[in-house]
Amino acid sequence: MTTSPASGHHRFQTLVPLALAAILLLGASRLKIESSCSKTSCKHVLQRVFSFTAMHKTKIRNDDGGDDEHIYHDALRNGSCNVFEGAWVLDESNPRPLYTEESCPYLTTQVTCLSNGRPDSLYQKWRWKPHACQLPRFDALKLLESLRNKRLMFIGDSLQRTQWESMVCLVESAIPDSKKSMTKIPPRRIFMAEEYNASIEFYWAPFLVESNADHATKHHVQKRQVKLDSISKHSKNWEGVDVLVFESYVWWMNKPLINATIGSLEMKEYNVTTAYRLALQTLGKWLDSTMNPLTQKAFFMSLSPTHIWSWEWNSGSNGNCFNEATPIQAPYWGIGSSHQIMDAVRDTLQDLKVNVTLLNITQLSEYRKDGHTSVYTERQGKLLTFEQRSQPEIYADCVHWCLPGVPDTWNEILYMYLLYGPSRH
């Protein structure tokens, strides 16, 4: 990779070495690729839909914490449980995953690592156990009931899209085939639970504010430009949405500087941290001026960590997340996870009039060097070839996550806050 261990700690960590740029680009272009898939990958999807019909009746076991609701309310209100501090455990009495690659017909090929040839599956079996409490049992019907006549929308980049896919898979098995639907209206994807008149949506806006990466296909990773004070093109599509979940990180982290504009002023190179702050302030202004805190909720997902340099957790090694089959045990924070960006998020959210809940999933995800799609994924709409797979130093994707996997935990936490969080209405 481009960063050497010696200089790493003091340098800006580019998260998008050239090899990965194509993967991020794919994030946007998939909108098109999926509807025009090749013969082989379409066949693949059809097979999964078919086997799903048989799987549907099998109820997936799940015996978490029980349904003692006041415990979860209290835990979030009185601060007795920080759900972001804990450990990954293997627990056969409370097994993961909560769905499988075969059971969920909506998973995209990008994330189905086992079908794509990953030989180990332990990465699916870890459950996040906060030190001071349990996460509540994920009850899809309870979530759907709370979303009755409502819209839940995930807004951000391809990592956010994975979280959305995960949420769809977590709820879809509770809904009969004829009562659910999936629609793509770029830049949106909409899963509908018809009997509930509830939608779970994804909205592509990798910088949240407007940028030349907003178009599904027509943009270039190396030529990105961001309009730090413009958001209305996107935000007009978010108005009145009952639950908004935002995320944006990795697209900013290409170079230490980013080309951006404010107002009609000319394009200028901004320090990424400065630019990120300005963009979040633009989002904040929109939230403060349009959000009704009595009827709407907003969340912000903290940055999703990457595992691009194995010397960080295994000194002397020279690889990446490829072949990593177990989580990191010791306390760990990767240098790719910018504290300056974390601070920018915290400061901006604190200054808002409306409550936006930060779900600080960075640390718990930092442990999961084993959870990435690695070489068991696709690039530009095609599964990696055998030859590409044998070159993990070039082709492993250590940014995105397999599903089932780590993003399911992000959603278990979101579930807890949605149902039992302080600003419940």
3-class SS at 244?
Answer: strand
Give the footprint of ligand NAG on residues 30-49 (CB under 6 A). Answer: none
Minimum Å distance from CB 113 to ligand NAG? 26
Is there a catalytic annotation at residue 400? yes
Pick between residue 75 and residue 383 the one whose CB is nearest to ligand NAG: 75
Amino acid at position 57, single letter? K
d(C-alpha 118, C-alpha 374), whole Å: 9
d(C-alpha 300, C-alpha 319), whole Å: 32
Numbers of helices and strands, H then E, in the chain: 13, 17
List 44, 142, 215, 255, residue binding ligand NAG (CB under 6 A): 255
Minimum Å distance from CB 92 to ligand NAG? 27
**Buried-exposed string 113-128: b where 16+ CB fall within 10 A, e elsewhere:** bbbbebeeeebbebbb
Residue whose Cβ sits closest to ligand NAG = 74
* Contact of 180 with 194, CB cutoff 8 Å: yes
Q: Nearest-CA neighbor of 405 among 23, 118, 86, 65?
A: 118
Q: Could you give the angle at which helices 272-290 and 339-350 cross, rounded to 10 degrees?
A: 20
Binding segment for ligand NAG among 87-95, 124-132, 351-359, 403-411 (CB under 6 A)? 351-359
* Contact of 135 with 64, CB cutoff 8 Å: yes
d(C-alpha 247, C-alpha 299), whole Å: 9
d(C-alpha 104, C-alpha 200), whole Å: 15
x/- contact string, 125-154, with ligand NAG (CB under 6 A)? ------------------------xxx---
Minimum Å distance from CB 204 to ligand NAG? 20
x/- contact string, 309-348, with ligand NAG (CB under 6 A)? ---------------------------------x--xx--
List 34, 74, 229, 288, residue binding ligand NAG (CB under 6 A): 74
Pick between residue 107 and residue 253 the one whose CB is nearest to ligand NAG: 253
Minimum Å distance from CB 295 to ligand NAG? 11
| Residues with catalytic function | 158, 397, 400
Residues lying near ligand NAG in the complex (CB under 6 A) are found at 12, 71, 74-75, 78, 80, 84, 149-151, 197, 255-259, 269, 271, 273-274, 293, 302, 342, 345-346, 354-355, 358, 360, 362-363, 422-423
